[in-house]
Amino acid sequence: MRWSLVALAVCALFLLTAPLAKADGLLVDQCFEFATCWTSSVPTPWSDELSAGQLALIIEAAGSPRIPFIVEQNTESVIRLGVTTMTFFTFGGPVVESLDEFNGLGQYNDPCPSSLPYCETDTVGIFTVPDGAGGATISGTFGNSLVPNSAGECLYLGDTGSCAVTAQVPEPATLLLLGSGLVGLVSLGWRRNRQ
């Protein structure tokens, strides 16, 4: 019983901390409208760590070790990205690839046209995963040398996905309910094991 409770707690923790992802595209970061990346007077850094398993899934979905880096704009203004760098960890040492700054193709107002359903979707460039990569770090900035901030957007590797317009943060009441439920289950298991 004790191990089942531990497994349940680990599953709940995973669900709360799992990255947003689509089956064939991995969301690596997002800039929300009115967040710092949207209003800042200096570019806002972002980064994400990728495991060997995530790289393998992206390669499988892309059908090649050449994986596209894609941006989807979902709020007004213009996409602005700084240099995007991906560092792959291999047995021979790190392999670093970079994509130039990117500026969106158009200026949009809210709401984005529902026919797209995003204002704009662009392939910024391609990263080539080296053989034997055991993981990677991808990083860049929202905003660049032209403009220090950016439109609301989602950044993907491999393919696109579902790009939320607002932050999807669990409500405090939901987290409290989940936490109290887990504490209750652990307490129940503890009492049963003591008898």
- What is the CATH classification number for the domain harbouring 54? 2.60.120
User: Given this model, what pLDDT does residue 10 score?
Assistant: 45
30-40 burial: b if 16+ Cβ within 10 Å, else e:
bbbbebebbeb
Indicate if 149 and 72 belong to the same structural domain.
Answer: yes
pTM: 0.71
Structural domain tally of the chain?
Answer: 2
Q: Do 45 and 3 share a domain, yes or no?
A: no
116 found inside a domain: yes
Q: Is residue 36 part of a domain?
A: yes
pLDDT at residue 12 in the model:
44
H/E run at residue 47: strand 44-51
Regions of the chain short of the pLDDT cut 70: 1-24, 113-117, 164-195
Are residues 103 and 141 both part of a single domain? yes
In a shared domain, residues 8 and 33: no
Domain interval for residue 7: 1-19+168-182
